[in-house]
Amino acid sequence: MPHYMLSVHSVEGQAREPMTEEEMRRSHQLLSTVEEEMKESGMWVFSGRLHEADTATVVRTAGRQTVTTDGPFTESKDHLGGFYVIRADDLDAALALAAKVTAAIDTPIEVRPFAATSEE
Amino acid sequence: MIEESRDAIGRIFRQEYGRSLAMLIGLFGDIDVAEDAVQEAYALALDKWPTDGLPPNPGGWITTTARNRAIDRLRRRTRERYLLGEAALLAGDGPPQEGGDMSDDRLKLIFTCCHPALAAETQVALTLRLLGGLSTEQVARSFLVAEPAMAQRLVRAKRKIKAARIPYRTPAVHELPDRLPPVLAVIYLIYTTGHSGPEEPGLCGEAIRLARLLAALMPDEPEVSGLLALLLLIESRRAARTRPDGSLAVLGEQDRDRWDRGLIEEGHAIVRRCLARDRPGPYQLQAAINAVHADAAAAADTDWSQIVALYDHLYALTPTPVVALNRAIAIGEAHGPATALALIDRLEAELGQYYPFHAARADLLRRLNRYSEAAAAYQRAAALAPPGAERDFLHHGGRTPRP
């Protein structure tokens, strides 16, 4: 079955109303319902939430030296905040799941197929 | 003689292309395999038919030959052996069946081409290429882009369909509100592309075929019926749009005896059924407007107040500047050119680059006896219009040039 990565993007300093405690609880509730559903249906493979982009470090080679720099690889307002790796029948099934996640947490989700998986 | 039969074969091919391709994609689940096989079958037809004559069922011949070619090719490719088993199972030994299942394949292919994961302009290009049977060059020409750019766009779209697994299926009922509008828009665009480009009259027929197919398979979707009725009613006037010398005849000047009564009656019947259902949408309203035109025995008998009322309704649903322009033109017929001109002039900022805006202004100015302003507006419209009978008409100040 094809695998997809649903990457959750967080936009820095996005002008949004801060969530009330009640809204935050509701959002968590919705998200855990979706995640349970993912696991029960066998679509869930792996998921993770990342710390803020300013905790990132980039390692690269310059000549023979290894250079380590503080901060994310691209300086942008939009960073990967977390991801789900799922298996789904087709793009529609993956998009339907992404729609549920975005409805719960209100951030854009990028859906992208894996080039190949060990199961294929 | 040979050239003539090549043209005839080309026409048959364009008519059958979408059907054959959809069927093969259904069998093999791979757009590239299907496309290559259908192209090979066409090359074979060009080779054989001019000397052997047409087979009894040319469309069936193309599909069967393409299917056999694809099976041959897959047999040579061990990697796809599993596909072969599936295909052989599905295909059997007999010729492909006409009707039901094949129609359903084309419907699935429309929904694949118009999937929301593809950009809107790609949806149209892909539908024209895969279902309309247009070459990449023809699709590029109808979008006014260079052929390599169009080829790249099509390759990218097919790669995305394959890699992301955009499904080849008809969406479930609950998905339709999201998935149906682009499909309807694409069929309408295919029709209008055929309508405005004299080199692709086959596109009008293909669009109507697709609309009929969709309407037969989705009888409970009033907008699908509305689109079909709209296309039939516009199509009923197509012959009358051109005078014997090839120049354009606008609606008010058309010879109404040349309107196709059969298409009008069919369109009318669908509009009546839509009205009875009372779930009006933009396509149904546009069909109703065209039905009012079809009702008038002469241009002077047109019930313009009813057309204005329908445009009011349409504008409430889709408040676009183009609808506002058409509504204003109808108001001009019902209440005089001065009222309409005042309404139209307000749309300048939004429609200044849209040639029908200048054409409509020109016509109103002419009727108000403001001739020099009218002439300037006609020239502006002609400069913006695409080449063709309509531009010639505008270029001659809204009059048909007489030899």
Across B207-233, average pLDDT: 92
Pick the residue from chain A with its C-alpha nearest to B174: A96
Q: Please tell me the distance from the alpha carbon of residue B91 to that of residue B174, in angstroms, as a whole number.
A: 32
DSSP state of B55: -
The pLDDT score that the predictor gives to residue B97 is 45
CATH number at residue A96: 3.30.70.1060
Q: Is A120 part of a structural domain of the chain?
A: no
* Tokens linked to A52: 């803020």
The pLDDT score that the predictor gives to residue B102 is 47
Report the number of distinct structural domains present in chain A: 1
Q: Is A75 part of a structural domain of the chain?
A: yes
Q: Which residue has the higher pLDDT, B125 or B174?
A: B125
**Residue B165 in contact with partner chain A when CB distance is under 8 A:** yes
The pLDDT score that the predictor gives to residue B100 is 40
Pick the residue from chain B with its C-alpha nearest to A4: B164
The pLDDT score that the predictor gives to residue B83 is 60
Q: Which residue has the higher pLDDT, B11 or B130?
A: B130
> How are beta strands A65-70 and A3-11 bridged, if at all?
unpaired
Mean pLDDT, chain B, integer:
87
Q: Please tell me the distance from the alpha carbon of residue B80 to that of residue B74, in angstroms, as a whole number.
A: 6
What's the predicted TM-score (pTM) here? Answer: 0.77
pLDDT, tens digit, 9 for 90 and up, residues B20-39 = 999 999 888 889 999 999 99
pLDDT band at B190 (very low <50, low <70, confident <90, very high): confident
For tokens 């339907």, name the residue.
Answer: A96
CB contact under 8 Å between A92 and B164, yes or no, is no
The pLDDT score that the predictor gives to residue A95 is 94
Tell me, what amino acid is at B352? G
The pLDDT score that the predictor gives to residue B189 is 86
Pick the residue from chain B with its C-alpha nearest to A90: B165
**A contact test, residue of B165, B170, B176, B178 with most A CBs within 10 A:** B165
pLDDT above 60 (res B216)? yes
pLDDT, tens digit, 9 for 90 and up, residues A53-64 = 888 999 999 888
Residue of B117, B128, B131, B116 lying closest to B160 (CA atoms): B117
The pLDDT score that the predictor gives to residue B95 is 45
pLDDT above 80 (res A13)? no
Across A15-20, average pLDDT: 68
The pLDDT score that the predictor gives to residue A117 is 58
Q: In what order do the strands lie in the sheet with A78-87?
A: A44-49, A78-87, A3-11, A109-113
Q: Quick one: CA dihedral A20, A22, A25, A29, positive or negative?
A: negative
From B167's Cα to the closest Cα of chain A, the distance in A is 6
Percentage of chain B beyond pLDDT 70 is 90
**Residue A115 in contact with partner chain B when CB distance is under 8 A:** yes
Across A91-102, average pLDDT: 94
Nearest to A91 among B117, B171, B175 (CB): B117
Residue B105, SS3 per DSSP? helix
CB contact under 8 Å between A90 and B117, yes or no, is no
pLDDT above 80 (res B314)? yes
Beta bridge partners of B2: none
Q: Domain B319-402's class?
A: mainly alpha
Which residue range(s) make up the domain with A41? 3-13+20-113
CB contact under 8 Å between A95 and B117, yes or no, is yes
Q: Please tell me the distance from the alpha carbon of residue A56 to that of residue A72, in angstroms, as a whole number.
A: 5
From A98's Cα to the closest Cα of chain B, the distance in A is 13
3-state secondary structure B114-159: CCCCCCHHHHHHHHHHHCCCCCHHHHHHHCCCCHHHHHHHHHHHHH
Q: Please tell me the distance from the alpha carbon of residue B198 to that of residue B248, in angstroms, as a whole number.
A: 12
**Residue B76 in contact with partner chain A when CB distance is under 8 A:** no
pLDDT above 50 (res B99)? no
From B33's Cα to the closest Cα of chain A, the distance in A is 20
Percentage of chain A beyond pLDDT 70 is 92
Q: Exposed/middle/buried for B187, CB within 10 Å: 0-12, 13-18, 19+?
A: buried
Q: Please tell me the distance from the alpha carbon of residue B71 to that of residue B28, in angstroms, as a whole number.
A: 9
Q: Is A37 part of a structural domain of the chain?
A: yes
The pLDDT score that the predictor gives to residue B171 is 86
Q: Is A65 part of a structural domain of the chain?
A: yes
The pLDDT score that the predictor gives to residue B82 is 61
Q: Exposed/middle/buried for A77, CB within 10 Å: 0-12, 13-18, 19+?
A: exposed
The pLDDT score that the predictor gives to residue B96 is 46
The pLDDT score that the predictor gives to residue B153 is 94
